Amino acid sequence: MAIVEYCTTDDVLNLTGVTVTDVHCQAARYLIDNYCQSNFQNNTVTDEIVSGNGSKWLKLKYSPILTVTKLEEDQGDFDNPNWVEIDAEDFKIPSEHGEADNLLLCDKGFTKGIGNYRVSYTWGYESVPDIVKTIACRIAAALKQDPDVQIKRESVGSYSVEFSESGGIKDTIDQLLKELPVKPLRIE
Residues 65 and 111 in one domain: yes
Q: How far apart are CA 54 and CA 114, in angstroms?
A: 11
Q: Do 107 and 59 lie in a common domain? A: yes
In this predicted structure, what is the pLDDT of residue 133?
94
* Number of separate domains in the chain: 2
Q: Which of 13-22, 27-36, 165-174, 175-184 has the highest mean pLDDT?
A: 13-22
Same domain for 133 and 106?
no
- Give residue-wise pLDDT tens across range 71-93: 999 999 888 999 999 999 999 99
More confident residue, 56 or 170: 56
Q: Is the peptide bond before 129 cis (omega within 30 degrees of 0)?
A: no
Each residue's pLDDT tens digit, 109-166 = 999 999 999 999 998 888 888 999 999 999 999 988 876 666 655 555 444 555 555 5
Residue 138 and residue 106 share a domain: no
Q: Is the pLDDT of residue 173 over 80?
A: yes
Residue 36 domain flag: yes
Residues 48 and 72 in one domain: yes
Confidence of residue 175 (pLDDT cuts 50, 70, 90): confident
Residues 56 and 94 in one domain: yes
Asked if residue 23 belongs to a domain, the reply is yes
- Distance of alpha carbon 27 from alpha carbon 10, whole angstroms: 16
- Structural domain including 145 reads 9-40+127-178
Last residue of a domain, one of 98, 123, 148: 123
In a shared domain, residues 83 and 35: no
Sign for the CA dihedral angle at 141, 35, 51, 65 comes to negative
Which pLDDT belongs to residue 20? 94
Q: Categorize the per-residue pLDDT at 184 as very low, low, confident or very high, splitting at 50, 70 and 90.
A: very low
User: Which carries the bigger pLDDT value, residue 179 or residue 75?
Assistant: 75
Task: Classify the C-alpha dihedral 147-155-37-180 as positive or negative.
Answer: positive
**Among the three residues 100, 123, 146, which one is the final residue of a domain in this structure?**
123
Put simply, whether the predicted model's pTM sits higher than 0.85 gets the answer no
The verdict on residue 183 lying in a domain is: no
Q: Are both 148 and 89 inside the same structural domain?
A: no
Quick check: is 90 in a domain? yes
In DSSP notation, the chain reads -PPPPS--HHHHHHHHS----HHHHHHHHHHHHHHHTS-SS-EEEEEEEE---SSSEEE-SSSSEEEEEEEEEE-S-SSS--EEEPPGGG-B--S--TT-TTEEE-TT-----SS-EEEEEEES-SS--HHHHHHHHHHHHHHHH-TT-EEEEEETTTTEEEEE--TTHHHHHHHHHHT-SSPPP---
136 found inside a domain:
yes
Residue 186 lies in a domain: no
Question: For 60-69, what is each residue's pLDDT tens digit?
Answer: 998 888 899 9
Domain annotation covers residue 166: yes
Query: What is the average pLDDT score of the chain?
Result: 83
Same domain, 147 and 106: no
